[in-house]
Amino acid sequence: MAKVNINLGLDYLVGHLRYGHREGTIDIPDEELKEFEEDPIHYLENNELDYELEFIIDDYDLDDWAYSNDVQYKILKD
């Protein structure tokens, strides 16, 4: 029996996100830390640091999807 790792592309997804968050580690200079602590969202957006955080989707609901012709696979050896 062969183990095969598959990456099957999708042409579209239909559904909605229920909730998610962004997370990561960023460097803030010591002299700007107080400004960050006073209004973190404002600081992150004004310094475009929010883009450095990874999107994490915590919950979603998929109603429909369609596979593309893009199939990549790799046969794994024992």
pTM above 0.95, yes or no: no
Residues in Cβ contact with 78 at an 8 Å cutoff, skipping those fewer than 6 apart: 3
| pLDDT per residue as tens, the chain (78 positions) | 878 889 888 898 898 888 889 999 999 999 999 999 999 999 999 999 888 899 888 898 989 999 999 999 898 887
Nearest to 49 by CA among 58, 37, 38, 36: 36
Q: Give the pLDDT of residue 13.
A: 86
Q: Give the pLDDT of residue 37.
A: 93
Q: Cα separation of 62 and 6, whole Å? A: 20
